[in-house]
Amino acid sequence: MNSHTRKKHLVPGMAWAEEAPRDLLSAILARADMVEAKQGFGLYNADDPEGGLFHVLSGRLDVLLPEEGLAHPLGHCLGPGWWAGDISAISGQPRRIALFAGRDSNVLRLTRSELARLCDEFPQMWQILAKMAAENMDIAIGASASLRIEDPTWRVAACLLRLTRTGPGWNNALPISQSELASIANISRRRVIDALSELDRRGATSRSRLLIRIDPVRLQEFEN
């Protein structure tokens, strides 16, 4: 992973970043490294030592599940505007999941040592971390709940909504293949194709080879 020289910036996304004081956000930017992760590069693996935070500027970061023997370990994807790594950064415990670049990506990295300095200088940083963890926990709960949905179309719809919520910078155009979506939804690719055909018919999605465009309003009808 090579240093990246473009001007650092934050991509709007998680709610806590909208509420954080400007001076704290400026301090985060000043302490973070700009890095470039080529597709397939591992930012961290399950059981790696504790580490810092990662903010997606562009591209896609993949959350890989650590279960042994899992044929399709892709559990979720994070897009521009999202942060990852909060649990390990807060607890000091080893990583519980793996995080890889699913596409060529630009990422901000805030090391745990710099994070500790920020917490000393800005006590509200602890509250920020708690809010970040809560937002990521909501996504994890949603991922678990979606796998209990029996109807494939409704399950795929739930997965697509979760993906767009953790990739606001994608602007509802999700860079994901049908096979990758099948892994996230934990159903066969054939069922994903059938589900997307139904969603297309109802105007909730449209597709190209590696891109699924969604209409969030129409897709939310499947949450009711």
Chain segment 61-91, per-residue pLDDT in tens? 999 987 765 556 899 999 999 999 999 999 9
Helix, strand, coil % (nearest 5) of the chain?
45, 25, 30
CATH of domain 2-145: 2.60.120.10
CA atoms within 13 A on the CB side of 168: 11
Chain segment 143-167, per-residue pLDDT in tens? 999 999 999 999 999 999 999 999 9
CATH class of 147-223: mainly alpha
Q: Is the pLDDT of residue 7 over 70?
A: no
Q: Is the pLDDT of residue 4 over 60?
A: no
Alpha carbons 19 and 160: distance in angstroms, whole number: 26
- Residue spans of the domains in the chain: they are 2-145, 147-223
Least confident of 34-48, 58-72, 118-132, 196-210: 58-72
